[in-house]
Amino acid sequence: MKIERYDNDIRILQELGNRIKSIRIARSITRDELAKRASVSVSTLQRIEEGKAFNIVPFLAIMRELNFIGNFDCLVPEQDYEIDDLYKEPKKRYRASNKRIDENFKWGDEE
């Protein structure tokens, strides 16, 4: 299932858990092995795979162990502006001038 913008948090957690479990099984890694390699408890890994709320630190450790940590760059891309740029004085805006239309103006296709 694709994770969509309007999916609720519970559904997203379940989908992430299902994906982690599928990857783990596809790589023939037991829960015990992955938990040990990621330095998290088996119960924490089980909670994540079941789609229950979890702390981000163990999740990152599991993603790192499964070689998916680089994908977070796509999740939260680096911005190409400095944070100080957000606090600069905005440029002054000016109203369009109220010039009158030249009555002698011609498009050039008049005869």
Structure tokens of 26? 């596809």
pTM of the model: 0.66
Domain that holds residue 46: 9-76
% of the chain beyond a pLDDT of 90: 56
Query: What pLDDT score does 5 carry?
Result: 85
Residue 110 lies in a domain: no
Residue 28 lies in a domain: yes
Cα 63 to Cα 33: distance, rounded to the nearest angstrom = 14
The CATH number of the domain holding residue 28 is 1.10.260.40
How distant, in Å, are the alpha carbons of 4, 13, 15, 63, 109 from that of 78? 21, 24, 25, 19, 53
Structure tokens of 81? 């502006």
Please check the confidence at residue 97 and state whether its pLDDT lies above 80.
Answer: no
Residue 86 lies in a domain: no
Please check the confidence at residue 87 and state whether its pLDDT lies above 80.
Answer: no
Cα 68 to Cα 23: distance, rounded to the nearest angstrom = 11
Please check the confidence at residue 33 and state whether its pLDDT lies above 80.
Answer: yes
Residue 1 lies in a domain: no
User: How many structural domains compose the chain?
Assistant: 1
Question: Per-residue confidence at 75, pLDDT binned at 50, 70, 90?
Answer: confident
Residue 111 lies in a domain: no
